[in-house]
Structure 1
Amino acid sequence: MKTMYRLKKLPIAIVALLMFGVSCSDEFLEVAPTGSLAGPLLENQAGVEGLLIGAYSALNGVFGNRFEGPNHWITGSICGGDANKGTDSGDYSSINPIQRYEASPVDPNNDFTRFWQGRYEGIVRCNNVLSTLATAADGIPAATVARLAGEARFLRGHFYFDLKKHFNSIPYFDETVPTEEVPLIPNTPDVWTQIEADFQFAFDNVPADNGAGRVNKWAAAAYMGKAKLYQQQFAEAKQWFDDVIEDGVTSNNLKYALLDDYAQIYNAENDNHAEAVLDVESANNTGNVQNANAFDDLNYPYNTGPDGPGNCCGFFQPSFELANSFRTTPEGLPLLDGSYNNPENEVQNSFFHVIVNENDEDTFVEDANPLDPRIDHSIGRKGIPYLDWIEHPGSAWIRSFPYAGPYSPKKYIYYKSQENSFTDGSSWTRGYATMNYTIIRYADVLLMAAEAEVELGNLEAARALVNQVRARAANSEHWVKENDDPDTDAANYVIAEYPPSQFATQEDARTAVRFERKLELSGEGHRFFDLVRWGVAADVLNDYLAYESQYLVTKFGGASFTAGKNELYPIPQSQIDIQGADILTQNPGY
């Protein structure tokens, strides 16, 4: 059984103290809940550690809503064009308008509401740690006080960063604000200073070797660099990234490095690896499947038999446009001019074969032209081995070809050999896997550093960073192989490092770095937020919609991304109703 570090060493009574800070009713405030701990019982090191565990647990979500997950599979990946909702139109239909950029502040499934509340619940838990620590500090060693406060402030910075990139204008409060004043705080976009202060404090006070499953100073440094990048403060971002690349180590004291095998990033048996800068721990067989990757339980091929993972559900199907993006030239370079979507370059797939050309699926012939090998670590395609399961069978694992296309997700999927050892099969689906989700990984850091170098005009430095990522992908030992011949590649994989000519101008270098993020980090929740901060979301996503709607017309026909509106998500109307429209103002266009 895989065990979550932050749960295994603490008494059950302390774990049970997790509380909902600002969501309680007046009656709850007057009557202590059965089995809860409060006041002096918490004002000691064990009590503060227990409260901190509650803050860590909020990384995985609080209310069990799939929008709350740390991977942003809907708001980051689906809305970024990496994938579509998948399955059929009637299943989890509240996602349908969101993927068409028609989200409403009136939230029928409480998706945005739960995300908003969940992140603020995490903030409240962090503030509870800090306020309790202030009263308990006399009995705790000074170094421990600093470490506990640093971890809590790191987590608080993360929760606020997540809210900022989704909604931009948000209410901010720390542990010094009385509870009764919190609903009176208006939203504001000016929260970067506070977010950076939390990451700086964590960097200064949390040790590097803080133990697997916990944040450390180098995760804080990477996050500070990311915050600077989002503000286009490229020189400052570069300094933080340079330090992380030069000296950074994981909390279990591994020097940050790219794994030799790309697939091992997503393998539960390899958790807490050298590429994990910030991850979310998970566990199985704890009596609560929410401790596993519950936010991902729908995101498996649609199958009901023993030959595939999950026993469900067909969501999060990679897009045609993403698959085509892995096309390469015969020399192994991406088609950076966008011609990967031209008919002669489209990746051959069973949808085109069956739906467009009306042929029998049994006659389908796999794509023989050059492809980046990361396609088959990222996307399930007919005829290609699907981890250690079977070859992807095509339509047998797709709920609705005409609605969702031919592909299945492949990252953060468990292996057949891991059934019931790295999964929690105690609930309605076998799909509660327990690999850690990596919020920031080292390849992400390298590519963010490359982005900063491009914007500062250091084009050769940027090329060297991008080529580190491409060199790992070019390790043919770890390409997907045929099931019946482990010495034969499953497809025509061709990939090369960028030559100096591709980085001869800043615009060319910028295009290459941004496209590398698309390929390397596909399906990991980054794409939408990258497009927004680059200021290109409307152009890129409207092109995406136009392309996908040729094939998925019932899903995307007539959809469009509205510049000046859809870069942000709507603040839940239910929250505005609670605080008042004079305090909490809606984002433009909603």
Structure 2
Amino acid sequence: MKKRNIITVLGISLTLLASCGKSFLERDPQAELPESQIVNSKGIEASLIGAYGILNGNVNGTWGNYSSAPSQWLFGEVAGDNAHKGSEATDQPNMNMIEFHTPNSSNDNLSQMWEVYYEGVLRANNTLRILKADQAGGKTVTAARAKEIEGEARVLRAHYYFYLWRVFKNLAYVDENTTDDEAKTKPNKDDILPKIIDDLKAGIANLPAAKINSQAGRMDQNIAKAYLGKVYLYQKKYADALVLFKEVIGAKDLRTMPYQNNFDVLTKDGPEALLVSKHVINPDGSGDNANVGDMLSGLNGSNPVGCCGFYQPTIDLVNAYKVDASGLPLLDGSYRNNPYKSDFGLSDDAKKTYKLDITLRFDPRLDYTVGRRGVNFYDYGVMPGDAWIREVSSGGPFVGIKTMIPKSLHATHTASGAAYITDLDVNIIRLADVVLMAAECQVELGDLGAAMNLVNAVRERAAKLPPKTTGDNVAAAVYVVKPYTSFPDQNYARKAVRFERRLELAMEGHRFYDLVRWGEAKTVLESYATFEGGFMARYKGLSYKPQNDYFPIPQSQIDRSGGALTQNTGY
């Protein structure tokens, strides 16, 4: 599938991960079919599947796909205030630069992101190019199917470009009509959002509402609508976005869709799933088609996973789940008062006698997002604290849950000998995300009542979550989450919607990008660093600059382009 080499050439990416040297530019590489032999229905369908294959952020192998993960945990969460890089302070030092917003253009995480998603663009372009050749000649693909393939490939291309745009902003745009020579010297000065919008509109026009061949993971009309609405939201075109979000939501009632099912390997393809990166363990037990992007987030130490200790929730995120006496979030930031930090900072002797405080009032989504000492963690037993954490002093006392699966399912849902590689799918866009984006639009358009109703649907669903328990089988907190009774003004409503996005979608790759599009990144991240730095000195003194809204263009790509690509301002 994804591992099949597709004949593509792109000057700005310059090297596919599976190609090197002069052979990269040969028209008919050894062991690859020339285009003349794949301009037919089988070749086109195979090319399309190859384009889908990049959804999991991987071209080859398992290790090394962290920054290109579909969950976007590194850029979307570690660069924000929800997650620490974790592991040890000296492990993957280039990730530290992403976390502390001190990246340079030689950072391998940036190169990985660039190369993988431009490979996705290439594969989508290749599909469209050979489809066009087929339709101009033998027409081995029916007109109806050709329309669908075009829609699938163009939504895939839009997705890959959007992921690149959020990280790098200034890109070179190439499509199926761009020649090799043009691609080699294409500057990164194109405004690609209109191109992304065109592709998503084509998806809406060409794709059916139902999954093609009933195959989960295929692009469909609702995905294209949700994605186009998201792009409009980034452009602050709230009215245009809201129309699309309403169409996607339709008569669906989020409150009937269990929150926890989104992170359960046995409940894939549920009614909330929209755009999903599908993952499988290969028949031979290998995992290159599995969730390799999140493999580092495995627990470390004396637990059934045993590796790798990255991607730890922050103390700030955990405390954000506190609720007031009315069961509402503490929007004024007072959740940082008297902060809960588990056993962090206690002496070794004090840690031995530590007891979980079950009287704290928390939104129940906390313990479906974060593993904390004293609370049962799936079927692994009670989370013991430090014994599952690689370096508490740099990553903190908490671990993530949303990328994990129960121990009882390891035999059938993890790679052979590597329990940290699972076939858990990743939701790139799910219905709650759309509901909260619609609420955001309603706030900005002045319909605060409608916005509150949408937020309350999310909160009422959260209130149905079964309580997590301690080793004594009692509730691990006073779990309470109540709906809002009023949004008194637009500023309050805006805070409520934005805070709800954090609570609902934490550790799913949205947070940093949300802060940037809201224009809040500097204020929020510098405040967060001051708070978090009170516990871990390495977080003190974060200075967020305007250029930090985006990341530098990989220097290797600038060099290979002969200077056609130019560096982002400030780097």
TM range (shorter): over 0.9
Deviations 1:87-112 (CA, angstroms, capped at 9, x unpaired): 111221221122111111122xx210
Q: Structure 1, unaligned stretches of length 5 or more? A: 1-6, 8-13, 248-254
- SS of the equivalent of 2:275 reads strand
Question: Corresponding residue for 2:565?
Answer: 584
Tell me how far apart the structure 2 counterparts of residues 456 and 433 of structure 1 sit (CA, whole Å). Answer: 42
Match of 1:471 among 460, 463, 466: 460
- SS of the equivalent of 1:37 reads coil
- SS of the equivalent of 1:114 reads helix
Deviations 1:316-373 (CA, angstroms, capped at 9, x unpaired): 1100000010010122100000011112xx1241104348xx7233333335221000
Question: Corresponding residue for 2:250?
Answer: 246
Question: Corresponding residue for 1:157?
Answer: 158
2:383 matches 1:397: no
Deviations 1:484-516 (CA, angstroms, capped at 9, x unpaired): 53xx4221111100111xx11000000000000
Shift in Å, 1:153? 0.2
Displaced runs of 4 or more, over 6 A? none
**TM-score where L is the length of structure 1:** 0.90
Question: Corresponding residue for 2:264?
Answer: 267
Indicate how the Cα distance of structure 1 residues 230 and 205 shifts in structure 2: closer, same or farther if over 3 A, else same: same
**TM-score where L is the length of structure 2:** 0.93
Match of 1:350 among 337, 340, 343: 343
Match of 1:33 among 29, 42, 45: 29
Shift in Å, 1:60? 1.2
Shift in Å, 1:39? 2.0
Shift in Å, 1:34? 3.7
Q: Is the 8 A contact 1:347 1:367 kept in 2?
A: no
Shift in Å, 1:189? 5.3
- SS of the equivalent of 2:353 reads helix
2:224 matches 1:216: no
Question: Corresponding residue for 1:316?
Answer: 311
2:536 matches 1:545: no
Q: Is the 8 A contact 2:374 2:471 kept in 1?
A: no
- SS of the equivalent of 1:285 reads coil
Q: Over the residues paired in the alignment, what is the CA RMSD in angstroms?
A: 1.8
Q: Which amino acid aligns with 2:152?
A: E
Tell me how far apart the structure 1 counterparts of residues 327 and 253 of structure 2 sit (CA, whole Å). Answer: 27
Q: Is the 8 A contact 2:331 2:499 kept in 1?
A: yes
Deviations 1:140-166 (CA, angstroms, capped at 9, x unpaired): 110100001110000000011111111
Q: Which amino acid aligns with 2:484?
A: Y
Question: Corresponding residue for 1:119?
Answer: 117
2:490 matches 1:489: no
Tell me how far apart the structure 1 counterparts of residues 327 and 399 of structure 2 sit (CA, whole Å). Answer: 24
Deviations 1:27-80 (CA, angstroms, capped at 9, x unpaired): 333373343223232111111110011111111122542111111111000111
Tell me how far apart the structure 1 counterparts of residues 495 and 461 of structure 2 sit (CA, whole Å). Answer: 20
2:420 matches 1:431: yes
What does 1:28-107 align with in structure 2 at a 5 Å threshold?
A: 28-30=24-26, 32-61=28-57, 62=59, 64-107=64-107
Tell me how far apart the structure 1 counterparts of residues 184 and 106 of structure 2 sit (CA, whole Å). Answer: 20
Tell me how far apart the structure 2 counterparts of residues 587 and 30 of structure 1 sit (CA, whole Å). Answer: 32
Q: Structure 2, unaligned stretches of length 5 or more? A: none
Q: Is the 8 A contact 2:469 2:476 kept in 1?
A: yes
Question: Corresponding residue for 1:334?
Answer: 329
Tell me how far apart the structure 2 counterparts of residues 256 and 573 of structure 1 sit (CA, whole Å). Answer: 48
Match of 2:540 among 557, 580, 590: 557
Q: Is the 8 A contact 1:321 1:544 kept in 2?
A: yes
Q: Which amino acid aligns with 1:450?
A: A
- SS of the equivalent of 1:440 reads strand
Tell me how far apart the structure 2 counterparts of residues 256 and 142 of structure 1 sit (CA, whole Å). Answer: 36
Question: Corresponding residue for 2:206?
Answer: 205
Q: Is the 8 A contact 2:297 2:403 kept in 1?
A: no
Shift in Å, 1:469? 0.3
Question: Corresponding residue for 1:10?
Answer: none
Question: Corresponding residue for 1:387?
Answer: 378
Match of 2:369 among 378, 383, 405: 378
Aligned sequence identity (%): 38
Question: Corresponding residue for 1:226?
Answer: 230
- SS of the equivalent of 2:250 reads helix
Tell me how far apart the structure 2 counterparts of residues 172 and 258 of structure 1 sit (CA, whole Å). Answer: 41
- SS of the equivalent of 2:413 reads coil
Shift in Å, 1:376? 0.1
Shift in Å, 1:399? 1.6
- SS of the equivalent of 2:312 reads strand
Which deviates more from structure 2 when the two are superposed, residues 491-500 or residues 229-238?
A: 491-500
Q: Which amino acid aligns with 1:148?
A: I
What does 1:297-316 align with in structure 2 at a 5 Å threshold?
A: 297-303=295-301, 305=302, 308-316=303-311
Deviations 1:446-475 (CA, angstroms, capped at 9, x unpaired): 000000000000100000000000001001
Indicate how the Cα distance of structure 1 residues 309 and 276 shifts in structure 2: closer, same or farther if over 3 A, else same: farther
2:514 matches 1:530: yes
Shift in Å, 1:561? 1.5
Deviations 1:528-558 (CA, angstroms, capped at 9, x unpaired): 00000000100000001111111111x3233
Q: Is the 8 A contact 1:256 1:442 kept in 2?
A: no
Shift in Å, 1:259? 5.4
Q: Is the 8 A contact 1:328 1:370 kept in 2?
A: yes
Q: Is the 8 A contact 1:470 1:495 kept in 2?
A: yes
Tell me how far apart the structure 2 counterparts of residues 35 and 396 of structure 1 sit (CA, whole Å). Answer: 49
Shift in Å, 1:184? 1.3
Q: Which amino acid aligns with 1:322?
A: L
Deviations 1:108-157 (CA, angstroms, capped at 9, x unpaired): xx210111011111001000000000111222110100001110000000
Question: Corresponding residue for 1:567?
Answer: 549
Question: Corresponding residue for 2:444?
Answer: 455
Tell me how far apart the structure 2 counterparts of residues 490 and 289 of structure 1 sit (CA, whole Å). Answer: 35
Which deviates more from structure 2 when the two are superposed, residues 457-466 or residues 260-269?
A: 260-269
Q: Which amino acid aligns with 2:363?
A: D
Indicate how the Cα distance of structure 1 residues 256 and 198 shifts in structure 2: closer, same or farther if over 3 A, else same: farther
Question: Corresponding residue for 2:277?
Answer: 280
Question: Corresponding residue for 1:4?
Answer: none
Deviations 1:260-301 (CA, angstroms, capped at 9, x unpaired): 432211111111111111000100034442211111111022
Q: Which amino acid aligns with 2:169?
A: N
Q: Is the 8 A contact 1:258 1:275 kept in 2?
A: no
Tell me how far apart the structure 2 counterparts of residues 316 and 482 of structure 1 sit (CA, whole Å). Answer: 24
Tell me how far apart the structure 2 counterparts of residues 79 and 320 of structure 1 sit (CA, whole Å). Answer: 15
- SS of the equivalent of 1:432 reads strand
Shift in Å, 1:385? 0.7
Question: Corresponding residue for 2:432?
Answer: 443
Indicate how the Cα distance of structure 1 residues 81 and 348 shifts in structure 2: closer, same or farther if over 3 A, else same: closer
- SS of the equivalent of 2:311 reads strand
Indicate how the Cα distance of structure 1 residues 337 and 363 shifts in structure 2: closer, same or farther if over 3 A, else same: same
Indicate how the Cα distance of structure 1 residues 70 and 258 shifts in structure 2: closer, same or farther if over 3 A, else same: farther
Q: Is the 8 A contact 1:316 1:408 kept in 2?
A: yes
Indicate how the Cα distance of structure 1 residues 361 and 403 shifts in structure 2: closer, same or farther if over 3 A, else same: farther
Q: Which amino acid aligns with 1:446?
A: V
- SS of the equivalent of 1:374 reads helix
